[in-house]
Each structure stands twice: as structure tokens, then as C-alpha cells.
Amino acid sequence: MLNKALEEKSTIIIPPAVYYEMWRGFKHKAAPRKEQAFVQMCKMYSIGEMGLSAWECVAEIYGASRKTGKPVEDTDILIAAFCIVNGYTLVTHNTKHFGNIDGLQIVDWAE
């Protein structure tokens, strides 16, 4: 999937919540090779930023997921809101966590 995106000259942006998830994992577990690989990847692609409209979208997704009885993890909500507000497609293999979020475009990179 990444190779196809690069061939098509797609813009690749790392959501800030993904950046956070990666770094918290590096701080929790000693994984220097993975940390270094991530640092190199971050030099190649942009790290997104979240404005107020994204935070409002976070609150909407949170409320909707609670009302349906299918709560979504906070970091997944942050990632989804970032993508929705910016009109980005989320590329993930973890489609199960994001499948109940309205308005989110998802592509499974493993397919």
C-alpha cells in the first residue's frame, strides 16, 4: 500500500495521535531499532496538527459512540477526527476499531 501511494505521489501525513501512540510505546518498551526507524519515517513525511474543528469532531465521535453503546478508544477517536476534518483517508490494518465511525474513509493496507 505504501509503495502504491508513493507511486501515485500521494501525500502521506502521520496523524498526531499516531505520533503519540508510537512514542508512548517507545518509552514503555525499549525498542531502539523501531524508534530509529520511526524517526527516519517522520523525516520523510509530515506530522499533522489538530485545530479546533478536529477537537470538536473528536467530541462528536465520542458522543456518538457512547450513544450507540460501541465506545471507541480515545486515540482512535483522535486519529479518526483528524482524518475526517482534513478529508484524509485513514490507511490502517485495524479496520475493526474504526469501522463504526461515520464519515471516516478507511483503506486496509493489507488488502
The domains found in the chain, sorted by start residue, are 2-108 (3.40.50.1010)
Q: What is the CA radius of gyration of the chain?
A: 15
Determine the Cα–Cα distance for residues 84 and 87; give it in Å rounded to an integer: 5
One-letter amino acid of 3: N
pLDDT of residue 30: 84
Q: How many CB atoms lie within 10 A of CB 109?
A: 14
Q: Given a cut of 70, is residue 4 above it in pLDDT?
A: no
Grid look-up 502521520 returns: 14
- What is the pLDDT, as a whole number, of residue 16? 96
Report the alpha-carbon distance of residue 20 to residue 101 in Å, rounded.
21
Q: Averaged over 28-36, what is the pLDDT? A: 90
β-pairing, 13-14 with 46-47?
parallel
CA distance 21 to 10: 23
Per-residue pLDDT at 1: 59
Residue 14's φ and ψ, nearest 5 degrees, are: -90, 120
